[in-house]
Chain A
Amino acid sequence: MKFSFSSEQDEFRSNLRRFLADRSPTKEVRRLMETDAGWERDGWQAMNAELGLTAVRIPEEYGGHGFGFGELCIVLEEMGRALLCAPFFATTVLAAGAILQAGTDEQKAALLPGIASGETVATLASVEDNGRWEADAVTLSADASGKLTGHKSFVIDGHTADLIVVLARGPAGLTFYTVNGNAAGLSRRLLKTMDPTRKLARLTFDGVQGAVLGTPGAAGPAYDRVMTEAAVCLTNEMVGGAERLREDALAYAMMRMQFGKPIASFQSMKHKHADMLLDVEMAKSAAYYAAAALDDGDADIVAMASLAKACASDAYSQTATHAVQIHGGIGFTWDNDTHLWYKRAKSSDVLFGDAFWHRENMMKHWAA
Chain B
Amino acid sequence: MTELTEESVRAECRAWLEANWDPNLGLVEWRMKLAESGWGNPHWPTKWYGRDLPAGLMPVVEEEFKRIGAIGVAKAGIRVLAAATILEHGTDMHKEKFLLRIMTGEDTWCQLFSEPGSGSDVAGAVTRAEMKGNQWIVNGQKVWTTSAHKAHWGLLLARTDWDARKHAGLSYFIIDMKQPGVQVHPLRQMNGHASFNQVFMTDAKVEPEFLVAGVGDGWAVTTTTLMHERRGADGVRSWGQGSADRPERAYVEERAEIATVMEPYKWYPQRAGRVDLILPRAKETGALADPVVRQEIAKLLIMTKAAEWTARRARTAQEQGRPQGPEGSLGKLASSHIARAAARVHTQMTGANALLTGEDSPMNGVIAEILVSVPATSIAGGTDEIQRNIISERVLKMPRERTGDSDKPFKDVPRNTVA
Spell out A's residues near B (CB within 8 Å): 2-4, 250, 253-254, 261-262, 264-265, 267, 269-271, 273-275, 277-278, 281-283, 285-286, 288-289, 307, 310-311, 356, 359-360, 362-363, 366, 368
Contact = CB atoms under 8 A, between A and B. Distances in A.
Given A270-B392, A274-B391, A362-B298, A262 B399 contact: yes
A245 to B, nearest CB: 14
Nearest to B308: A285
Given A267-B401, A359-B298, A359-B299, A282 B306 contact: yes
Given A250-B396, A267-B401, A275-B388, A368 B279 contact: yes
A299 to B, nearest CB: 16
A277 B313 contact: no
Contacts of B326: 277, 281
A363 B298 CA distance: 6
B97 interface: no
A285 B303 CA distance: 11
Contacts of B395: 277
A4 B301 CA distance: 22
Contact of B398 (A4, A265, A283, A310): A265
B91 interface: no
A51 to B, nearest CB: 25
A360 B294 contact: yes
B130 interface: no
A359 B295 contact: yes
A259 to B, nearest CB: 13
B333 interface: yes
B313 A274 contact: no
Contact of B388 (A270, A283, A288, A310): A270
Given A273-B391, A288-B313, A307-B301, 19 more contacts: A3-B312, A253-B398, A254-B398, A265-B400, A270-B389, A270-B392, A271-B385, A271-B389, A274-B388, A278-B391, A281-B326, A285-B313, A289-B305, A307-B305, A311-B302, A359-B295, A360-B291, A360-B298, A363-B294
Contacts of B313: 3-4, 285, 288
A367 to B, nearest CB: 10
B327 A281 contact: yes
A209 B389 CA distance: 63
Main secondary structure of the interface of B (DSSP, over half): helix
Given A2-B309, A273-B392, A277-B330, A307 B302 contact: yes
Size class of the B contact interface (CB-based, 8 Å): 35 or more
Contacts of B391: 273-274, 277-278
A180 to B, nearest CB: 41
A3 B306 CA distance: 11
A254 B399 CA distance: 8
A286 B388 CA distance: 22
A3 B319 CA distance: 11
Contacts of B330: 277-278, 281-282
A274 B387 contact: yes
Interface of B: 279, 291, 294-295, 297-299, 301-303, 305-307, 309-310, 312-313, 315-317, 320, 322, 325-327, 330, 333-334, 337, 385, 387-389, 391-393, 395-396, 398-401
A285 B279 CA distance: 23
B295 A356 contact: yes
A282 B396 contact: no
Given A270-B388, A363-B298, A368-B279, A282 B399 contact: no
A42 B317 CA distance: 41
A273 B398 contact: yes
29 contacts: A3-B309, A3-B312, A3-B315, A4-B313, A265-B398, A265-B400, A270-B398, A271-B385, A273-B392, A274-B387, A274-B389, A274-B391, A274-B392, A277-B330, A278-B330, A278-B333, A281-B325, A281-B327, A282-B334, A285-B312, A286-B305, A288-B309, A288-B313, A307-B305, A356-B295, A359-B294, A359-B295, A362-B298, A363-B294
A316 to B, nearest CB: 13
Which 4 pairs between the two chains have the least Cβ-Cβ distance? A270-B392, A359-B298, A282-B306, A274-B388
B306 to A, nearest CB: 4
Given A2-B312, A261-B399, A359 B392 contact: no
Nearest to A282: B306
B392 A4 contact: no
A101 to B, nearest CB: 26
Contact of B333 (A269, A274, A360): A274
Contacts of B337: 278
A362 B299 CA distance: 10
A71 B104 CA distance: 50
Given A4-B313, A270-B392, A271-B392, A286 B306 contact: yes
B71 to A, nearest CB: 31
B316 A3 contact: yes
Contacts of B310: 281-282, 285
Contacts of A254: 398-399
Given A264-B399, A270-B398, A363 B316 contact: no
Nearest to B330: A278
